[in-house]
C-alpha cells in the first residue's frame, strides 16, 4: 500500500508564492496575502522585500487575529479556480473562503460522476463555501450541501451563482451534521457519493458540540448506512485534527469489503510557484467503486 501526495499547482487564479517561518505568501487573483501556517517549518526562498509587498498580512494575537491592509485591497473579489469562481473574502479567523489543496479531490469526484452515465446523488458534509458541491453539480450530480454555518452557506450560494450554477440541483442545508444524518436515516434517503471534511472542533446552529475524537465514530456508520446499493464513492479529508490518513482509510475498509473497488489515501499539498517544494495541507482517504 503506497501513500499518495496529491498536489495543487500554480494557476492564473491562485498560486503559493513562498512559504517558511510558519507563514505562507499566496496570490489570489491579482492580490497577495501573507498568512500563518504552522506546517511551514523551513526557511523562505523569497527576500523579505517581496513579503512586505503583500496587499495584506494576518497577525495572530492570542486566540484571534486581524488583517493588516497595506494596499488598496477590496473587502472581497472573485477569482477563477478549478473551473469555478470563488469570492475571496479575508475573515477574522485568517481563512479566505477557499482551500486550494482540495482541487484534486473536486476533480476526482467530478470524473467519477461524469463517467457514471446515470443519475448521481451526492451528500457534502461540513461543506463550507461549496467547492466540492459546485464541482459535483457541474459534473451532473444532484447535491445536498450541509454546513452548520449560515454564513458559510450564504457564501457557498454566492460562489455557485458566480460560477453560473445557481440553477443546478443543489440543496443548501444549515444543520448540525449528526442531527441531519439521523433525520435522513429515518427518512430512508440514500446517496451515491458522500464527501466530508470534518473539523477537529465546531458547533452546530443550535450550539451542538462537535469534537472529532468523540463524534467521528458515530458519523462514519451513519454515512455508510446512507449509501445507495450502487455507490460511487466516499471521500474524507481533514486538516486540523492531527491524525494519519491511515485512520481515515481504515474507516473506508468496510466499503471495499462490501462493494469492491479501491481505496487511496495520503496527503494534500500545494506546490510552491517556481519550486519543487510542497506545503502540506492535510490528509485524505477516498474509496471508489471502480478500481
Looking at 13-17, 65-69, 133-137, 160-164, which range is the least confident one? Answer: 65-69
Quick one: average pLDDT of 45-55? 97
**pLDDT at residue 2, rounded to an integer:** 56
Mean pLDDT of the chain: 95
Q: Please, what is the Cα angle at 200 between 195 and 203, to 5 degrees?
A: 90
Quick one: average pLDDT of 196-213? 81
Q: Is a pLDDT exceeding 90 seen at residue 164?
A: yes
Angle of helix 245-259 relative to helix 212-225, nearest 10 degrees, comes to 20
β partners of residue 147: 174
Contact between residue 172 and residue 180 where contact means Cβ atoms under 8 Å apart: no
Same CATH topology for 4-88 and 100-288: the answer is: no
Looking at 5-14, 100-109, 119-128, 241-250, which range is the least confident one? Answer: 241-250
**pLDDT at residue 212, rounded to an integer:** 85
Quick one: average pLDDT of 230-243? 91
Closest CA to 163 of 261, 87, 75: 87
Contacts of 183 (CB under 8 A, 6+ apart): none
Taking only the tens place, the pLDDT of each residue in 85-104 is: 999 999 998 999 999 999 99
**pLDDT at residue 204, rounded to an integer:** 78
Determine phi and psi for 160, rounding to 5 degrees. Answer: -65, -45
* Domain range list for the chain: 4-88, 100-288
Contact between residue 18 and residue 40 where contact means Cβ atoms under 8 Å apart: no
What percent of the chain shows pLDDT beyond 70?
Answer: 97
CATH code for the part of the protein at 100-288: 3.40.50.150
| pLDDT band of 31, cuts 50, 70, 90 | very high
Q: Which three cell numbers stand for residue 196?
A: 466530508
Long-range contact pairs involving 112-116 (C-beta distance under 8 Å, separation at least 24):
112/193, 112/232, 112/233, 112/288, 112/290, 113/139, 113/140, 113/141, 113/193, 113/232, 114/139, 114/140, 116/192, 116/232
What percent of the chain shows pLDDT beyond 90?
Answer: 87
Which residue's C-alpha cell is 490528509? 283
C-beta atoms surrounding 226 within 10 Å = 17
Q: Is a pLDDT exceeding 60 seen at residue 166?
A: yes
Fold for domain 4-88? Immunoglobulin-like (2.60.40)
**pLDDT at residue 201, rounded to an integer:** 64
Taking only the tens place, the pLDDT of each residue in 114-156 is: 999 999 999 999 999 999 999 999 999 999 999 999 999 999 9
Burial level of 89, CB count in 10 A (0-12/13-18/19+)?
Answer: middle
β partners of residue 144: 123, 171
Of 248 and 239, more confident: 248
Amino acid at each position: 500500500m503506497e501513500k499518495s501526495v496529491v498536489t495543487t499547482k500554480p494557476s492564473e487564479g491562485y498560486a503559493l508564492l513562498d512559504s517558511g517561518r510558519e507563514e505562507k505568501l499566496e496570490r489570489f487573483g491579482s492580490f497577495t496575502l501573507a498568512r500563518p501556517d504552522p506546517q511551514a517549518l523551513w526557511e523562505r526562498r523569497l527576500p523579505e522585500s517581496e513579503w512586505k509587498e503583500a496587499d495584506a498580512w494576518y497577525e495572530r494575537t492570542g486566540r484571534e487575529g486581524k488583517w493588516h491592509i497595506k494596499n488598496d485591497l477590496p473587502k472581497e473579489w472573485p477569482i477563477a479556480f478549478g473551473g469555478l469562481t470563488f469570492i475571496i473574502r479575508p475573515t477574522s479567523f485568517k481563512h479566505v473562503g477557499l482551500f486550494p489543496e482540495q482541487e484534486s479531490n473536486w476533480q476526482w469526484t467530478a470524473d467519477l460522476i461524469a463517467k457514471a452515465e446515470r443519475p448521481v446523488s451526492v451528500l457534502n458534509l461540513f461543506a463550507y463555501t461549496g467547492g466540492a458541491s459546485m464541482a459535483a453539480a457541474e459534473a451532473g450530480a444532484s447535491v445536498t450541501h450541509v454546513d452548520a454555518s449560515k454564513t458559510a452557506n450564504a457564501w457557498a450560494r454566492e460562489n455557485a451563482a458566480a460560477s453560473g450554477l445557481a440553477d443546478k440541483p443543489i440543496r443548501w442545508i444549515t444543520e448540525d451534521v449528526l442531527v441531519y444524518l439521523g433525520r435522513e436515516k429515518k427518512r430512508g434517503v440514500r446517496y451515491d457519493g458522500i464527501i466530508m471534511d470534518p473539523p477537529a472542533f465546531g458547533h452546530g446552529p443550535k450550539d451542538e458540540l462537535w469534537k472529532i475524537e468523540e463524534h467521528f465514530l458515530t458519523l462514519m456508520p451513519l454515512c455508510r448506512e446512507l449509501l445507495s446499493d450502487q455507490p460511487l464513492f466516499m471521500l474524507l479529508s481533514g486538516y486540523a485534527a492531527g491524525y494519519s490518513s491511515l485512520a481515515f482509510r481504515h474507516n473506508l475498509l468496510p466499503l471495499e469489503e462490501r462493494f469492491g473497488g479501491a481505496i487511496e489515501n495520503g496527503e494534500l499539498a500545494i506546490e510552491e510557484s517556481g519550486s519543487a517544494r510542497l506545503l502540506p495541507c492535510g490528509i485524505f482517504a477516498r474509496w471508489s467503486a471502480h478500481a
